[in-house]
Structure 1
Amino acid sequence: MSGSTRQGMTKGKKAWLIPVLCLIVGGGLTGISTNLAKFAGEIGLTPLAFLFWSITGAAFILSSYALLRHELPPLSKSTLSYYLVAALVSVAGSNLIFFSAIPHVGAGFVALIISLPPLLTYLAAIILKIERFTKLRALGVVAALAGAGVLAARKFAAPDASMFWIGLALCGPVLLAIGNIYRSLYWPDNLSPSALVPGMLIAASVLLGLVGLMPHFSLAVPMTEILPLVLIVVQAFVFAGQFLLLFLLQKTGGPVLLSLLGSVGAVVGVPVAIFLQGESPPEGLFLGASLIALGVVLVTYGGVKMAKSVSDKR
């Protein structure tokens, strides 16, 4: 084997290693985040306060990282609008929904439905004609949505079910899917993830801060114990890693690997909620999770086949 061939194989392996690591670590952080939000509610932190201070901390961490790399978020009319819209749908709105719903529907249920956004993203991409229709991937979307339907139906049927919170929780994946499409369509030219993420998180912090100024909302943190402050710091680092890896995965791995992010989060988040937080397994867990997993596999396999077909034609 020639030296150039070996070098090419090494580069190919490294090219795949980065997105795969982003997928595993980023998905794991997503699953951990839902459980930290549940614990925060148990020690007196409101969802808005916990989210605001954690996002603000993550923005500071990643802004410092960007400063060290000389990649501070650029400020222009187009980038400011990008930060604001991405912050609203990908960070502030969706996470405020999830964090608020967790005390009412459970961290395990939220961890499971977080696996849906990439599948909804594919559905939106078909509607917007960003991606062509294939039967295999469409079947995957149907299977995953059926799985979510099973979980939601069992939740609604529970004696203590809160229709409002279950319905609101299911709106979170829709916002995340909108965010996936928006970030892909309007990604500013020649800008790296480490330059974009701090701008998005700063915008999210501003939006959440404005919500905190409204009546009946508060950003106050209980100061009688140190545990709430420690938890906010931990969540800030989790958010910093989660969103940086999300952008890196979107840039380096493309939509096929991105579609697995929520599933990895569910694999981590659901067992943590059941075994460490003492939650009961969501009703219909086996059937619902199996259908969602089947959907992810079909959508991913269909994407691999489509990518291979495109490369063969070149």
Structure 2
Amino acid sequence: MNDLLNKNTHKNTWLVPVACLLAGGALTGISTNLAKYAVNIGLTPLAFLFWSITGAAIILLIVALIKQEIPPISARSIEYYVVAAFVSVAAANLLLFSAIPHVGAGFVALIICLPPLLTYLGALMLRMERFYLIRALGVVAALLGAGVLAIHKLSAPESSVFWILVALCGPVLLAIGNIYRTLRWPDNASSSALAPGMLVAAALLLGLFSALSDFSVAIPLDAWLPLGLIAVQAWVFAGQFFLLFLLQKTGGPVLLSLLGAVGAVVGVPIAIFLQGERPPEGLFLGASLIAVGVILVTWGGVKMATIITKEE
């Protein structure tokens, strides 16, 4: 009887991270397409990102107040907010959003699935993860899928190598953020408390960048569409980062890094069918490999957790 209860409990513990992975990934794919549409209606990447992050921070702060989980304020937590905000939010998203008008929302949605290999290697080097063949094969499959798409993009005659390289820097920062947030997670802090703290820090960093540069965060106030789009993106960011922290806590850094792979599955069709982008060359092979990677890493995580439970 106890064995049956333990098995059911174990299965239920994986429902939460997998649900967070699917929902958070979908929001990631939607976010990249909203960023392209924002440029089309005259919003700069910095202004769109700054006001959307600010709105998301306010939303999550209200949620934290309702749940009575105020972001902790200490030297450790402030360091966590600032570093995580810079790596995972401000720098990574600014690079990706700036590259979208030049390389397309579909391509950016696809390359966000690159962090798994970097995250997995980092987690292995830091002994945060055990080597498990199924998960390793899943990460390699997802990386190969992204590689197929990136090679086709680079070989296109109208491609901009500079902006492709700028876009590729985004996944590197996201992978670093995955590792950092796991290693430096403040003691006894909940995801509901940490997410708004990170977004507040990200908004401050973006505002500081605007003040110290020629890039403005000004937006047109005489039209409802830009303001409406920022409001939608704020809610998307709020859901995306809330689920990111929840997945970070329940699923670990490698499963977390697959948010981009799920985002690609959602974001690419939106870019093609709703924004009129041409399907990326090698889409079928690349997307198939990415899907296989998600399945293997998720399944491998369940199997590995089962082995660890038996050992204990």
TM-score, structure 1 length as denominator? Answer: 0.92
| Residue aligning to 1:309 | 307
Q: Does the alignment pair 1:37 with 2:35?
A: yes
- Looking at structure 2, the residues matched to 84 and 258 of structure 1 have their Cα atoms a distance apart, in angstroms, of 20
Equivalent runs, 1:1-314 vs 2, <5 Å: 15-255=13-253, 257-314=255-312
List per-residue Cα deviations over 1:56-96 (Å, max 9, x = no partner): 01111111111122211111111000000100111111111
Q: How far has the Cα of 1:40 moved from its partner?
A: 0.2
Provide closer, same or farther for how the CA distance between residues 286 and 304 of structure 1 changes in structure 2, counting only shifts above 3 A.
same
- Looking at structure 1, the residues matched to 147 and 109 of structure 2 have their Cα atoms a distance apart, in angstroms, of 15
Letter paired with 2:248: Q
Provide closer, same or farther for how the CA distance between residues 6 and 288 of structure 1 changes in structure 2, counting only shifts above 3 A.
closer
Equivalent residues of 2:116, 2:254 under 8 A apart: no
Helix, strand or coil for the counterpart of 1:118?
helix
- Looking at structure 2, the residues matched to 261 and 135 of structure 1 have their Cα atoms a distance apart, in angstroms, of 21
List per-residue Cα deviations over 1:168-216 (Å, max 9, x = no partner): 1111111111111011111011110011011100000011001111333
- Looking at structure 2, the residues matched to 128 and 168 of structure 1 have their Cα atoms a distance apart, in angstroms, of 27
Q: How far has the Cα of 1:309 moved from its partner?
A: 1.8
Provide closer, same or farther for how the CA distance between residues 131 and 19 of structure 1 changes in structure 2, counting only shifts above 3 A.
closer
Q: How far has the Cα of 1:303 moved from its partner?
A: 2.9
- Looking at structure 1, the residues matched to 112 and 65 of structure 2 have their Cα atoms a distance apart, in angstroms, of 32
- Looking at structure 1, the residues matched to 6 and 293 of structure 2 have their Cα atoms a distance apart, in angstroms, of 34
Equivalent residues of 1:256, 1:303 under 8 A apart: no
| Comparing 291-300 and 24-33, the one that deviates more | 291-300
Letter paired with 2:260: G
Equivalent residues of 1:121, 1:181 under 8 A apart: yes
TM-score, structure 2 length as denominator? Answer: 0.92
Provide closer, same or farther for how the CA distance between residues 182 and 255 of structure 1 changes in structure 2, counting only shifts above 3 A.
closer
Q: How far has the Cα of 1:116 moved from its partner?
A: 2.2
- Looking at structure 1, the residues matched to 299 and 5 of structure 2 have their Cα atoms a distance apart, in angstroms, of 28
Letter paired with 2:85: A
Count of residue pairs the alignment pairs up: 312
After TM superposition, which residue ranges in structure 1, 4 or more long, deviate above 6 angstroms?
4-10
Helix, strand or coil for the counterpart of 1:277?
coil
- Looking at structure 1, the residues matched to 239 and 136 of structure 2 have their Cα atoms a distance apart, in angstroms, of 32
Equivalent residues of 1:121, 1:178 under 8 A apart: yes
Equivalent residues of 1:123, 1:141 under 8 A apart: no
Give me the CA root mean square deviation: 2.2
Q: How far has the Cα of 1:144 moved from its partner?
A: 2.7
Provide closer, same or farther for how the CA distance between residues 301 and 223 of structure 1 changes in structure 2, counting only shifts above 3 A.
same
| Comparing 47-56 and 139-148, the one that deviates more | 139-148
Q: How far has the Cα of 1:304 moved from its partner?
A: 2.9
Provide closer, same or farther for how the CA distance between residues 66 and 312 of structure 1 changes in structure 2, counting only shifts above 3 A.
same
* Long gaps (5+) in structure 2: none
* Long gaps (5+) in structure 1: none
Percent pairwise identity: 69
Q: How far has the Cα of 1:113 moved from its partner?
A: 1.4
| Comparing 195-204 and 13-22, the one that deviates more | 13-22
- Looking at structure 1, the residues matched to 5 and 308 of structure 2 have their Cα atoms a distance apart, in angstroms, of 25
Helix, strand or coil for the counterpart of 1:215?
coil
Equivalent residues of 2:14, 2:302 under 8 A apart: no
Letter paired with 1:274: I
Letter paired with 1:212: S
